[in-house]
C-alpha cells in the first residue's frame, strides 16, 4: 500500500510536470500522454465503467483500456470502411507524448460482431466499435506504462482533474495481492440452442447442402446457458482463463452491466508495419489424460482426411485473402498442431509482406470471416447460416483486438467465449461441417470447446 501511495505521488508529480508539453488548447483529435510505471504489471485491475482487457500469458502481453476518450460505431456492409475513415482521421491527428521514452504509444480497440447485419443484442455491444480509452495500461517485454488520452481542444485544468482522478482510482489497485482462490462452483446447465435433436437436423441439412455442392464447408454453432450459484467475478475469470489457456488471448470487454469474455486460440492476423501473419485453425480432436493415447489422437488428427480437408479450405481462403493485399507471400508450411488443455487443432501460420497503405481495417475486411468460423464459399455459407442457424451469434465469431495510431495492430477471432451477466453465462461453440461429418461427433466437439469457458467459470 505504502509503495502504491509513493507510486501515485510520483505519477501525479510527473503528470503535472509533463502536462504543459501537451498542446491541449490547439487543434482537434486525440492526444495521449504515456507515463512509465516503475514496476512490472502482472494484471490489470477492474474498475467500474467501460473497460476492455487483452492478456496473453505466454507472451507476457497485457493491454487494458478504461473509460471512453472517443468511440465510433458502425453497422451494415460498410461497417469496416466507415470505421476506416475514422481511423484515418485519427492517424492524421492523434498526438503521442512519451516523456519517459518508453517506446509505447496510445492504442485503441477495434471489435465487431460475426455479421454486419446483426443488430446489437442489447446496448451492451454495438455491431462494430472503435474505441479509444481515457486510461490504458500496457505491459510488454518486462516494461509497463500507463496512457492517458483526451480529445482536443480541452481545458488544462479539466484534463488534469480527470486524469488525476483516474490515477487515484487505478494506482492503489496495482500492487493489490493476488486474489485467494474460491472453491470450484457447480454450474447449472440450462438450455442449449439448438438442443441435441435440432443440432442433428441442422448438421444433416448442412450435409445435404454439401452433398448437393452448394457448399463445401459450413460452421454451425450452439449457445449453452449456464447458471452459477454466485455472481461471476470477472477478475477471477480472467486469472483462471490465463492460467488454463496460457497460449490463448484472454479478452474481456464490458460496456455496461454485461461482459463479453473469450480465451481464443485463433488470431485473425497480426500486422506490424508491412508484415502480416494470420492463423488458419480448423480441424479439431480431443485430448487424453494418458500421454500415449493423447499422442495417438494427435497422430489421428494429422492423418484424418476429413479434418485435413476442413483445414485446407481455411488455409486456401486465408492465402487468397492475403494475396489480395500482399506484394509477397511466404510459402505455406505444413499444418502443425496447436494443443490446448481441452482440445487440439490443426494450425497453419501464413505470412506475407503487405502493399503500402494496407491497415487493420482492410485486413479485417478481407480476412473476416474465414471458413474456420463461417464456411466456403463465403457468401453462400453466410446466407445459409442466416436462414438456418437458430440463434444470433452477436460477437461470437466476430473479431476484436488492438490498433495502434498508425492503424497497424492485431485482431483475434472471438471463440471460446461467453456473454456474462451476474450469475448467468451464455457460452458459444461451433464445429465445421464438411462431407463425412457426423452430428454426434460434432456435438461432442462443441462440448470440448465449451469446456474451455465452463471450467474457468467454476473458479470465478
Ligand X SMILES: C=C(O[C@@H]1C=C(C(=O)O)C=C[C@H]1O)C(=O)O
Residues in touch with ligand X (CB under 6 A): 219, 221, 266, 281-284, 345, 372-373, 415-416, 429-432, 449
Question: Considering beta carbons, is residue 152 or 217 the nearer one to ligand X?
Answer: 217
Question: Considering beta carbons, is residue 67 or 430 the nearer one to ligand X?
Answer: 430
Q: H or E segment at 344? A: strand 344-354
198, three cell numbers: 435440432
Catalytic residue status for 447: no
Buried b (16+ CB within 10 A) or exposed e, 334-347: ebeebbbebbbbbb
Q: H or E segment at 433? A: strand 424-433
- Distance, in Å, from the CA atom of 352 to the CA atom of 368, rounded to the nearest integer, reads 17
Least separation in angstroms between CB 232 and ligand X: 20
Active-site choice (209, 217, 310, 389): 217
Least separation in angstroms between CB 358 and ligand X: 24
Catalytic residue status for 266: yes
Question: Considering beta carbons, is residue 71 or 447 the nearer one to ligand X?
Answer: 447
150, three cell numbers: 483526451
Instruction: Give the alpha-carbon dihedral of 272, 273, 274, 276, to 10 degrees.
Output: 10
268, three cell numbers: 485473425
Cβ atoms of 445 and 431 within 8 Å: the answer is yes
Active-site choice (209, 216, 266, 389): 266
Q: CB within 8 A of 247, min separation 6: which ones?
A: 57, 58, 265, 338, 340
Cis before 413? omega within 30:
no
Question: Considering beta carbons, is residue 405 or 432 the nearer one to ligand X?
Answer: 432
Question: Considering beta carbons, is residue 51 or 449 the nearer one to ligand X?
Answer: 449
Residues serving a catalytic function are 217, 266
Amino acid at each position: 500500500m505504502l509503495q502504491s501511495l509513493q507510486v501515485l505521488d510520483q505519477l501525479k508529480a510527473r503528470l503535472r510536470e509533463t502536462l504543459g508539453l501537451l498542446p491541449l488548447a490547439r487543434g482537434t483529435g486525440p492526444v495521449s500522454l504515456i507515463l512509465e510505471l516503475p514496476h512490472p504489471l502482472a494484471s490489470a485491475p477492474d474498475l467500474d465503467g467501460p473497460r476492455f482487457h487483452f492478456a496473453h500469458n505466454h507472451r507476457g502481453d497485457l493491454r487494458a483500456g478504461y473509460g471512453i476518450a472517443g468511440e465510433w460505431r458502425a453497422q451494415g456492409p460498410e461497417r469496416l470502411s466507415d470505421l476506416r475513415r475514422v481511423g484515418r482521421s485519427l492517424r492524421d491527428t492523434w498526438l503521442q507524448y512519451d516523456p519517459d521514452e518508453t517506446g509505447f504509444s496510445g492504442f485503441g480497440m477495434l471489435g465487431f460482431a460475426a455479421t454486419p447485419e446483426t443488430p446489437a443484442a442489447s446496448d451492451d455491444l454495438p455491431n462494430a466499435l472503435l474505441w479509444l480509452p481515457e486510461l490504458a495500461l500496457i505491459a510488454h517485454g518486462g516494461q509497463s506504462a500507463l496512457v492517458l488520452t483526451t480529445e482536443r481542444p480541452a481545458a488544462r485544468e479539466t484534463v488534469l482533474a480527470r486524469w488525476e482522478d483516474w490515477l487515484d482510482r487505478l494506482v492503489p489497485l496495482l500492487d493489490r495481492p493476488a486474489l485467494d482462490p474460491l472453491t470450484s462452483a457447480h454450474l447449472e446447465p440450462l438450455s442449449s440452442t439448438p438442443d441435441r435433436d435440432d443440432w442433428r437436423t441442422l448438421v444433416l441439412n448442412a450435409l445435404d447442402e454439401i452433398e448437393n455442392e452448394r457448399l463445401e464447408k459450413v460452421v454451425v454453432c450452439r449457445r449453452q446457458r449456464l447458471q452459477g450459484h454466485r455472481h461471476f467475478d470477472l477478475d477471477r475469470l480472467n486469472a483462471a482463463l490465463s492460467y488454463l489457456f496460457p497460449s490463448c488471448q484472454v479478452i474481456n470487454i464490458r460496456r455496461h452491466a454485461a461482459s463479453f469474455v473469450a480465451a481464443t486460440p485463433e488470431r485473425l492476423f497480426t500486422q506490424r508495419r508491412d508484415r502480416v501473419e494470420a492463423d488458419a485453425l480448423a480441424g479439431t480432436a480431443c485430448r487424453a489424460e494418458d500421454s500415449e493415447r493423447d499422442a495417438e489422437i494427435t497422430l489421428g488428427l494429422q492423418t484424418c482426411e476429413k479434418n485435413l480437408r476442413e483445414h485446407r479450405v481455411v488455409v486456401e481462403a486465408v492465402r487468397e485473402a492475403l494475396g489480395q493485399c500482399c506484394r509477397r507471400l511466404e510459402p505455406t508450411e505444413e499444418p502443425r498442431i496447436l494443443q490446448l488443455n481441452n482440445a487440439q487443432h490443426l494450425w497453419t501460420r501464413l505470412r506475407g509482406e503487405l502493399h503500402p497503405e494496407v491497415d487493420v481495417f482492410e485486413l479485417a475486411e478481407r480476412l473476416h470471416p474465414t471458413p474456420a468460423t463461417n464456411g466456403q464459399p463465403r457468401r453462400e455459407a453466410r446466407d445459409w447460416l442466416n436462414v438456418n442457424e437458430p440463434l444470433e451469434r452477436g460477437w461470437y465469431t466476430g473479431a476484436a483486438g488492438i490498433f495502434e495510431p498508425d492503424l497497424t495492430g492485431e485482431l483475434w477471432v472471438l471463440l471460446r467465449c461467453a456473454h456474462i451477466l451476474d450469475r448467468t453465462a451464455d457460452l458459444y461453440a461451433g464445429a465445421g461441417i464438411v462431407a463425412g461429418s457426423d452430428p454426434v461427433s460434432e456435438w461432442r466437439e462443441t462440448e470440448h470447446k465449451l469446456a474451455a469457458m465452463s471450467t474457468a467459470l467454476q473458479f470465478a
